[in-house]
Every structure is written in C-alpha cells, then in structure tokens.
Amino acid sequence: MLARRGGSRLNLDELTSQDFSAIAESDPLVILPIGATEEHGSHLPLGTDSFQCEEIVQRLAREFNALVLPPIRYAECRSTRNFPGTISLKSETVQALVTDVLSELARNGISKVIVMSGHAGSGHMAALKLGALRVIEQNADMRVMVLADYDIACDLAGQEFPQDDGHAGQIETSRMLAIRPELVSSERPFGDARPPRHMIVSDPQRYFPSGVMGDSRGASAEKGGRISDYISSRLSDIVAQNFDIPRADGSEERA
C-alpha cells in the first residue's frame, strides 16, 4: 500500500480507511487546499484562486510525498463581495471549517499540516489562522503552516511584474494562461484604482468597476510557468525549513 505513494495516489480521499491509517503512521505532511469562487475580471474564471492553489499544492505534494485533502473552493471575499459570481463565506464559517478539518487530522494522528490558500484577503487569512490556532491550543504537538501562494507570487511584483500588480492582474492572468488557458477569455482588462486603504466601505466594487487591480496586458503562459516555478521553489524551502520531512527525490536543497 505504502508503495503507491511513490506513485500517483496523493489525494487523501482516494485512499481507503486502512491505507490512510498505514500512511498516517509514517507521520506524513497533509495539505488542505483552499480556493475561492470569486470575480476575477472579465477574462478570468471565478475559480481562479482554486485552480492556481491546487496546481501549486499538487507540485508540493509530489515533492514531499504529502497527502492532499479534498479542496475547499470557497473563501471569505471582501473587496469583490458585491460582484456577480462571488460566493463569499462568512469569516466565522471559514474559521469553523479549518478548525473542524484540522481537529479531525489531529484525531487521526496527523501532526504536520499546511493550509494553502489561493485567496489572500487579510480577513480570510486571519480566519484560517484563527481556526488553526484554536486547534493548536488543544493539540500542542501539531505544527500547522497557513499561507497564501499568492503572497509568495507577489515577491515578483516590482521585479518582473508591475509594482502594483494585484487582483486579476498580470501575475494571475499569466498563471491561468499557463494552467487553464481554455478558461481565459481574450480580454485583457486594466484597472488602476482600488478601494481606499484602511477604509471599511459598503461598496468596494465602486472603486474598481473593472474588477481588476492591475494590468492584465502583457500576461503570457510562459511568464505564468515561471511564476509557478518560483512559488514552488520558494515553498519547497519554506516547508523544508519548518517541517522535518525528506523530499521525495532525496535532495537536500533546491538550487
């Protein structure tokens, strides 16, 4: 059974109870991908955050022989909450979800967990962290990492990408062109305004009617591939630093 893990069986819910039980004894890393169903301009699909996150998670899982939990493709979406197609959860629901899933992992003896979010809104991230914290308070031996792949991608803003690139901008458009090009329309919208910083407003969409924060022009699948590589490489190091897990290929460090 364990042999399968070197192969393609990374999705936790494709295992039987007994197979899972055997793997759990080896203290594996388990990853929970959390996406979003959220407006992403006139050119990107509502599931953009999900697709990006899940691609990165699959790479990471292969590298660390990790198990991947069924993805949750909903998030708390604040700035875009009034656009068509956004399905935003309440912050309390996001927290409850993560609390429940992580509690069950703890019951199952899992001690190394990554909650990877495709959506990087600060309220959403805070809910994920608070949920994880509640579980840690009851399970002191558990180590949980909570982060958004988008935040790592943003390292590249100001370098290869425009400084103010953001929601549905050049980075996200490039990544989607690399991963799911058939879901990207031919439009390349541009939006140079945003809701005012620090302000809590009832109509954030009024401040960026395009639904885009940044400039999607100039995006390409090739750039998207480089972004994915960058994120994966950075994540690989972060994970190796924080968890005591060998890489599947036996390497110690990535160049």
Q: How far apart are CA 142 and CA 191, in angstroms?
A: 42
188 vs 215: CA distance, rounded Å: 8
- Between CA 67 and CA 17 the distance in angstroms is 13
In the complex, the smallest distance separating the C-beta of residue 218 from a copy of itself, rounded to whole angstroms, is 20
Ramachandran quadrant class, 168 (left: phi over 0; alpha: psi -120 to 50; beta: rest): left
Asked whether position 33 contacts a copy of itself by CB under 8 A, the answer is: no
Alpha-carbon distance 114 to 145, whole Å?
5
Burial (CB < 10 A; 0-12, 13-18, 19+), residue 210, is middle
Which residue among 58, 59, 62, 130 contacts a copy of itself (CB under 8 A)?
A: 130
CB 249 to a copy of itself: min, Å? 23
Q: Which residue from 2, 4, 6, 93 is in contact with a copy of itself, where contact means CB under 8 A?
A: 93
CB of 226 to a copy of itself, least distance (A): 23
Residue 13 binds to a copy of itself (criterion: CB under 8 A): yes
Least separation in angstroms between CB 5 and a copy of itself: 15
211 binds a copy of itself (CB under 8 A): yes
Q: Which of residues 174-193 bind a copy of itself (CB under 8 A)?
A: 183, 185
If the CB atoms of residues 35 and 249 are measured against a copy of itself, the closer one turns out to be: 35
Report how far residue 10's alpha carbon sits from residue 12's, in angstroms, rounded to the nearest whole number.
6
Total number of residues that touch a copy of itself (CB under 8 A): 81
